[in-house]
């Protein structure tokens, strides 16, 4: 008997979800390459370096030793202890291992955090331009994103935030250094934001995944400003960017034990623990030599300087050199016209005509801008920058 497939209906919650634009672009680049069309990919949000050898060796050793079973849901005690040590050492925040959870990338932890913190209709204040994953995750938690719109040079202030707070605000999302702008929050301003959050009883999620990729100043964690802000902050971080471990899928968060228990409980019903092998590798990343990290940062510094120098020669575009992360966020408004009315159209034409992939600002709630990643080889950056310059000049 032939049974006709029932129409597959997708929930409205998921239907209204905007899929990750950067991952979408990456798929498009891979498809073009599979057709034999060479593309320079400056759209990526991941270091092009390989995971440092000593970290890989720790992963291989874990496999060889049969460390291939389920672990404790929030991560093995040894890893949580090591993360707590790192947070004490680097970020001057004291956490117990029971206040730490490791998960399948910081992305998963952020998702669980919004689920754990937000009631339906709660407001989550997000400074924009922003990584839209936050926005979609907030919506999936039934909460409402409220934007604090920043203009170039995209420096967040307590004053700007205060204007967006209301009695319905439950969470404030911070990301410094930021994706996509590379902007950081100045220390004094961060202190004021901490005071504001304490005074208004708003919870802070602080995504510090780019803390190690910084070109000026020193990173400061909001939770380090004292016990009252520490108890209402979830400090989120991971291994993807600092240790070139995007594919290992491991990130972590530290915060009040009640919240960590809630996130762990959610995790126990979604993914269980993150990969046992990745956990062993992550311990080595924190314990072992930090020299590869310094080398990566040095290389990013050179690339940043190159890109800033070569693109500042183009009159029709403007940008502020990033303070951290590995992106240049460029205003292309003056190049838009009736044939290319949006940054998306501009990027699509750049890809079609010059075979350079970059991400349009619409993907970060910043129309009129484009994000150029310098997590690419100098060879690709040189060719990419030349093509972007030609394209901008209408050649």
* Residues in contact with ligand PLP by the rule CB under 6 A: 45, 105-107, 131, 175, 179, 207, 209, 238, 240, 246, 251
Question: Whole-number minimum distance, CB 157 to ligand PLP, in Å?
Answer: 20
Give CA separation, 138 vs 130, 179, 229, in Å: 13, 17, 22
Question: Whole-number minimum distance, CB 174 to ligand PLP, in Å?
Answer: 10
Dmax over Cα atoms in the chain, in whole Å?
Answer: 72
Question: Whole-number minimum distance, CB 226 to ligand PLP, in Å?
Answer: 25
Nearer to ligand PLP, 241 or 387 (CB): 241
Question: Whole-number minimum distance, CB 15 to ligand PLP, in Å?
Answer: 24
Question: Whole-number minimum distance, CB 61 to ligand PLP, in Å?
Answer: 23
3-state helix/strand/coil string of the chain? CCCCCCCCCCCHHHHCCCCCHHHHHHHHHHHHHHCCCCCEECCCCCCCCCCCHHHHHHHHHHHHCCCCCCCCCCCCHHHHHHHHHHHHHHHCCCCCHHHEEEECHHHHHHHHHHHHHCCCCCEEEEEECCCHHHHHHHHHCCCEEEEEECCCCCCCCHHHHHHHCCCCEEEEEEECCCCCCCCCCCHHHHHHHHHHHHHHCCEEEEECCCCCCECCCCCCCHHHHCHHHHCCEEEEEECCCCCCCHHHCCEEEECCHHHHHHHHHHHHCCCCCCCHHHHHHHHHHHHCCCHHHHHHHHHHHHHHHHHHHHHCCCCCCEECCCCECCEEEEECHHHCCCCCCCHHHHHHHHHHHHCEECEEHHHHCCCCEEEEECCCCHHHHHHHHHHHHHHHCCC
Nearer to ligand PLP, 179 or 392 (CB): 179
Question: Whole-number minimum distance, CB 246 to ligand PLP, in Å?
Answer: 5
Question: Whole-number minimum distance, CB 253 to ligand PLP, in Å?
Answer: 10
Nearer to ligand PLP, 177 or 335 (CB): 177
Question: Whole-number minimum distance, CB 184 to ligand PLP, in Å?
Answer: 13
- φ/ψ of 324, rounded to 5, equals -155, -175
- Pairwise CA distance, residues 233 & 206, whole Å: 7
Nearer to ligand PLP, 44 or 356 (CB): 44
Give the tokens for residue 287: 């314990």
Nearer to ligand PLP, 73 or 240 (CB): 240
Question: Whole-number minimum distance, CB 32 to ligand PLP, in Å?
Answer: 22
Nearer to ligand PLP, 114 or 383 (CB): 114
Nearer to ligand PLP, 190 or 314 (CB): 190
Instruction: Give the CB-nearest residue to ligand PLP.
Output: 105
Nearer to ligand PLP, 246 or 342 (CB): 246
Nearer to ligand PLP, 225 or 248 (CB): 248
Question: Whole-number minimum distance, CB 238 to ligand PLP, in Å?
Answer: 3
- Pairwise CA distance, residues 113 & 196, whole Å: 21
Nearer to ligand PLP, 73 or 181 (CB): 181
Cβ distance 171 to 203 under 8 Å? yes
């Amino acid at each position: 008997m032939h049974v006709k497939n029932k129409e597959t209906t997708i929930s409205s919650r998921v239907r209204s979800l905007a899929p990750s634009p950067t991952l979408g672009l990456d798929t498009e680049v891979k498809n073009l390459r599979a057709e034999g069309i060479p593309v320079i990919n400056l759209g990526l949000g991941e270091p092009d370096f390989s995971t440092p050898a000593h970290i890989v060796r720790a992963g291989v050793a874990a496999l060889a030793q049969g460390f291939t079973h389920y672990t404790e849901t929030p991560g093995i005690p040894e890893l949580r202890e090591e993360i707590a040590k790192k947070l004490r050492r680097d970020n001057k925040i004291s956490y117990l291992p029971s206040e730490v959870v490791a998960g399948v990338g910081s992305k998963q932890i952020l998702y669980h955090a919004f689920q754990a913190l937000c009631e339906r209709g709660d407001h989550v204040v997000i400074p924009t331009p922003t990584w839209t994953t936050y926005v979609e995750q907030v919506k999936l938690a039934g909460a409402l994103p409220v934007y604090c719109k920043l203009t170039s040079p995209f420096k967040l202030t307590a004053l700007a935030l205060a204007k967006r707070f209301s009695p319905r605000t439950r969470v404030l999302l911070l990301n410094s250094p930021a994706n996509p702008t590379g902007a950081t929050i100045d220390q004094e301003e961060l202190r004021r934001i901490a005071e504001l959050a304490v005074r208004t009883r708003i919870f802070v999620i602080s995504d510090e995944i780019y803390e190690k990729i910084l070109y000026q100043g020193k990173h400061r964690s909001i939770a380090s400003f004292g016990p009252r802000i520490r108890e209402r902050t979830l400090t989120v971080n991971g291994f993807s960017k600092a240790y070139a471990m995007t594919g290992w899928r491991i990130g972590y968060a530290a915060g009040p034990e009640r919240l960590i228990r809630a996130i762990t409980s959610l995790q126990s019903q979604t993914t269980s623990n993150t990969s046992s092998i990745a956990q062993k590798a992550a311990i080595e990343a924190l314990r072992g030599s930090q020299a590869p990290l310094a080398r990566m940062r040095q290389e990013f510094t050179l690339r940043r300087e190159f890109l800033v120098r070569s693109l500042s020669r183009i009159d029709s575009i403007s940008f502020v050199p990033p303070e951290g992360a590995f992106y240049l966020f460029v205003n292309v408004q003056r190049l838009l016209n009736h044939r290319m009315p949006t940054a998306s159209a501009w990027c699509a034409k750049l890809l079609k005509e010059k075979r350079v992939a970059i991400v349009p600002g619409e993907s970060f709630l910043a129309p009129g801008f484009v994000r150029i990643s310098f997590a690419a080889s100098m060879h690709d950056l040189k060719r990419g920058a030349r093509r972007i310059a030609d394209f901008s000049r209408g050649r």
